Chains A and B, each alone.
Chain A
Amino acid sequence: MNLKISALDYVQEVQNGNISAEDFTAATLERIHSVDEKLHAFLSVNDDAINQAREIDKKIKSGDKVGACFGMPISIKDNMCIKNSKTTCASKMLENFVAPYDATVISKLKEQDAIFIGKANMDEFAMGLTTEFSAYGPSKNPWNVDCTPGGSSGGSAVSVSAFECVASLGSDTGGSVRNPASFCSAVGYKPTYGLISRYGLISYANSIEQIGPVTRTVKDTAFLLNMITGLDPNDNTTVDNKNEDYLSGIDSGVEGKKIGIIKEMMAEGTDPAVISATKDAVSKLEGLGAICEEVSLDMVKYSVAAYYTITATEAGSNLARYDNLRYGYDFSLEGYEFNSYIQKARKNFGPEVTRRMIIGGFVPSAGHAGKYFLKALKVKNKLTKEINEAFKKYDLLIAPTVPILPFKLGEKIDDPVALFLVDINTVTANLTGKPAISVPFAVSNGLPIGIQLLADSMNDKMLLQAAHALEQTVKLPEVPI
C-alpha cells in the first residue's frame, strides 16, 4: 500500500476501486504503530478507525452517496473537539476532558466521510513552536529526529510528512501551522481570519487564530478548504466566502502578478541557506512571469512584542475557565476553600503556560495596560494599515516562513526571547488577519526550508494559485524515514 499519495490521489484511487478505505486505514494504523514511538506525532489514536473505514467501503460498494473524503485518514490537532473523544490540548489540566460536542470543522469533515485517525501532539494549549511544551513529551522531526518539528501544530506536520495520515488540521495563532509545515516540508495554511469556523477549537488567542490544513500538496489544501470554510452560525467571527471553490483554476499561475519581498523578514540573523532559498524562490516566480520587488513593513520590528502581549492577555482570560470544577482531571475538592483549590488545581499547567498566564495578568492590568496591552493593539492596527497599503501595490507578499532551519530539541527551550524571534515572519499574518501559506521549497543539509506567501484578506484563492505555481518549480527529496 502506497501511503505517500496526496489526498486528491487517495480519493481518485478509492473511486477507481484500486484501494479500499479499510485497507488504507489499516496500513496507516500500521505505519503509526511502527514509527510513532519514535516520532510521537499522536496523543491518541482512533481505535474505531477500521470499523468506520469498513462502513464507508460498504457505502461505496452499494452505490450510496459518499462524502468527498472517501474515508481518508486525517489527523486532528488535539485542541479541536471531537464528540465523545478526549481533547487534552496536550495539557495535564485537560487530561480527562471528553468533548461533548463536535467542532464545526469536525462536523463538516464527518459529513464528507473523513476518518479522524488520531489526535495530534502540540505545545500545551498551542503555546510554543517546538512541541517541547507538550505535557506528554515532544514530537520529533522526521527529517532529523534530534530536531524539533516546529510547533505548535508539530504533531500535525509530523504525521503528514511521515505518512501517518494523508492530511491534518492544525491551528495557527502566530505561525503554528506554517512553522511546523516549514520545518517538516509540508504545506501549511493560515486562512483569512474568519474563513474557517473556530467553534470547537480550544481558544488560545481567539482574536487572531485560525484553524488551517497541513497537507502534502497545495492542491490538497484547496481540497480541504472547499470542505471546511464558510459562514458558521456558531462563530460570529466567520465571514461569507460565497462557497468559493479553491481548487478550480488552481493552475492559473502568477504571470503578471506583482509580488513584494518583505525586507524586515530577511533581516540580520536570518540563516544564509534560508536567504538563498528565498532568493531562489523569487527568481523562480519571476521566471513564471511575476514581477518582484522589495517592500518594507516598518511595524514588523514590533510585531513579535505586540503578538506576545496580545496572545498572553487573551490566553490569561481564555484559560481562566480551567479551574477544574466542571471538567478537567481527578482532584478532590475535600479540604480546600475556593482560592486554594483553584491555585492547587492549576498547578497542572506546564511551565510555559504558567509563565504566559502571569504575563497575561500583567500586561493588561490597570497599572500596565497603557504601556503594554494598548500599545500592542495599536501596533497591530498600524501594521494592518501598512500591509493594506502594500496590498494596494502588490498582489502578494513573500518571505521565508521561518528565518532559521529546524534546530535541535532542547536548544532554545530555556531562552524564551530567542524563541520569540523564531516567530518574526509568521505573526504578521495573524495580527493583520491576512491569509498566508508555507510551501516546501528547499532542503539544506537534510533540513527543510519553507517559503511563505501572503495575500490580502479574502484573496485566499489567488494565494493558493501562486503557492501551487511555486510548488511546481521544485522537486524535493523524500523524507528519510
Chain B
Amino acid sequence: MVTEEEIEKVAKLMKIEVEDHKEYVDKVHAMIDYFDILDSAGVDDEEISMPEIPITALREDKHIPFDEKLIEKLNHYKGTYVRAPKMS
C-alpha cells in the first residue's frame, strides 16, 4: 500500500504541486494499487530487451549548424542568455 507521504515525496521530486489533495491521492492510489497485479505475472526470470542498431548505422561526425537563430525563438532571454530563476 502506497502511503500519502510517499506520494507527496514523489510529487516534490517531479516538481508537481499537489493542491486538491484527497482527489489526487485517491486516484493515484487506485492506479498504483491496480499495478499490484504485476506481482502475479510470474516474470521474475524474464530479461529486459531493447532494439539494436549497429555502430556503423549511426550518424557521421559532421558539424552542420542549425539554419536559424534558435535563441531568438525562445522565451526568457536576457541579452543572448536564457534567464532562469535564482538557485536556492
List residues of chain A with CB under 8 Å of any chain B CB: 98, 100, 193-194, 233, 236-237, 299, 301-302, 305-306, 308-309, 316, 320, 323-328, 333, 336-344, 346-347, 349, 351, 354-355, 357-363, 365, 371-372, 374-379, 381-382, 384, 416-417, 420, 433
Interface SS of A by simple majority? helix
Given the complex of chains A and B, what is the CA–CA distance between A341 and B18 in angstroms? 14
Query: Chain B contacts of A316 at CB under 8 A?
Result: 14
List residues of chain B with CB under 8 Å of any chain A CB: 2, 6-7, 10-11, 13-19, 23-24, 27-28, 30-32, 34-35, 37-41, 43-44, 46-49, 51, 53, 58-59, 68, 70, 73-76, 82-88
Check if A382 sits within 8 Å of B41, measured CB to CB: yes
Nearest CB in chain B to that of A384: its residue? B49
Check if A337 sits within 8 Å of B87, measured CB to CB: yes
From B2, B19, B48, B68, A374 is in contact (CB under 8 Å) with B48
Check if B32 sits within 8 Å of A362, measured CB to CB: yes
From B11, B35, B48, B53, A372 is in contact (CB under 8 Å) with B35
Given A328-B75, A337-B87, A346-B15, does the pair A371, B28 have CB atoms closer than 8 Å?
Answer: no
Nearest CB in chain A to that of B74: its residue? A326
Given the complex of chains A and B, what is the CA–CA distance between A417 and B11 in angstroms? 20
From B19, B44, B84, B88, A378 is in contact (CB under 8 Å) with B44
Query: Chain A contacts of B13 at CB under 8 A?
Result: 361, 365
Nearest CB in chain B to that of A339: its residue? B88
Nearest CB in chain A to that of B86: its residue? A337
Check if A305 sits within 8 Å of B35, measured CB to CB: yes
Check if B85 sits within 8 Å of A416, measured CB to CB: no
22 contacts between A and B (CB under 8 A): A236-B53, A302-B38, A306-B38, A306-B41, A325-B76, A328-B75, A338-B86, A342-B15, A346-B17, A351-B24, A354-B16, A359-B32, A361-B11, A363-B32, A372-B32, A374-B48, A376-B35, A378-B41, A378-B43, A379-B38, A381-B48, A384-B49
Within the complex, the shortest CB–CB distance from A261 to chain B, in Å, comes to 23
Within the complex, the shortest CB–CB distance from A473 to chain B, in Å, comes to 36
From B11, B38, B84, B85, A375 is in contact (CB under 8 Å) with B38
Check if A416 sits within 8 Å of B7, measured CB to CB: no
Query: Chain A contacts of B37 at CB under 8 A?
Result: 301-302, 305
Check if B15 sits within 8 Å of A343, measured CB to CB: yes
Query: Chain A contacts of B58 at CB under 8 A?
Result: 236
Query: Chain B contacts of A299 at CB under 8 A?
Result: 41
Nearest CB in chain A to that of B6: its residue? A362
Nearest CB in chain A to that of B10: its residue? A361
Q: Which of B68, B75, B87 has the most CB of A within 10 A?
A: B75
Query: Chain B contacts of A324 at CB under 8 A?
Result: 75
Nearest CB in chain B to that of A207: its residue? B50
From B7, B16, B32, B35, A346 is in contact (CB under 8 Å) with B16
Given A358-B24, A372-B35, does the pair A338, B73 have CB atoms closer than 8 Å?
Answer: no
Query: Chain A contacts of B10 at CB under 8 A?
Result: 358, 361-362, 365
Within the complex, the shortest CB–CB distance from B30 to chain A, in Å, comes to 5
Nearest CB in chain A to that of B82: its residue? A326
Given the complex of chains A and B, what is the CA–CA distance between A328 and B73 in angstroms? 11
Given the complex of chains A and B, what is the CA–CA distance between A382 and B46 in angstroms? 7
Given the complex of chains A and B, what is the CA–CA distance between A378 and B64 in angstroms? 40
Within the complex, the shortest CB–CB distance from A81 to chain B, in Å, comes to 12
Check if B59 sits within 8 Å of A323, measured CB to CB: no
Nearest CB in chain A to that of B31: its residue? A416
Given the complex of chains A and B, what is the CA–CA distance between A417 and B16 in angstroms? 22
From A325, A328, A343, A381, B47 is in contact (CB under 8 Å) with A381
The 5 closest A-B pairs by CB, nearest first: A378-B46, A378-B43, A361-B10, A361-B14, A375-B38
Query: Chain A contacts of B7 at CB under 8 A?
Result: 358, 362
Within the complex, the shortest CB–CB distance from A100 to chain B, in Å, comes to 5
Within the complex, the shortest CB–CB distance from B43 to chain A, in Å, comes to 4
Q: Which of B2, B32, B84, B85 has the most CB of A within 10 A?
A: B85
Within the complex, the shortest CB–CB distance from B68 to chain A, in Å, comes to 7
Query: Chain A contacts of B49 at CB under 8 A?
Result: 381, 384
Query: Chain A contacts of B84 at CB under 8 A?
Result: 325, 333, 338
Q: Which of B28, B59, B88 has the most CB of A within 10 A?
A: B28
Nearest CB in chain B to that of A322: its residue? B15
Check if B32 sits within 8 Å of A326, measured CB to CB: no
From A301, A309, A338, B88 is in contact (CB under 8 Å) with A338
Given the complex of chains A and B, what is the CA–CA distance between A338 and B85 in angstroms? 5
Query: Chain B contacts of A382 at CB under 8 A?
Result: 41, 43, 46
Query: Chain B contacts of A349 at CB under 8 A?
Result: 16
Query: Chain B contacts of A98 at CB under 8 A?
Result: 73
Within the complex, the shortest CB–CB distance from A370 to chain B, in Å, comes to 10
Within the complex, the shortest CB–CB distance from A415 to chain B, in Å, comes to 8
Within the complex, the shortest CB–CB distance from B82 to chain A, in Å, comes to 6
Given the complex of chains A and B, what is the CA–CA distance between A324 and B31 in angstroms? 28
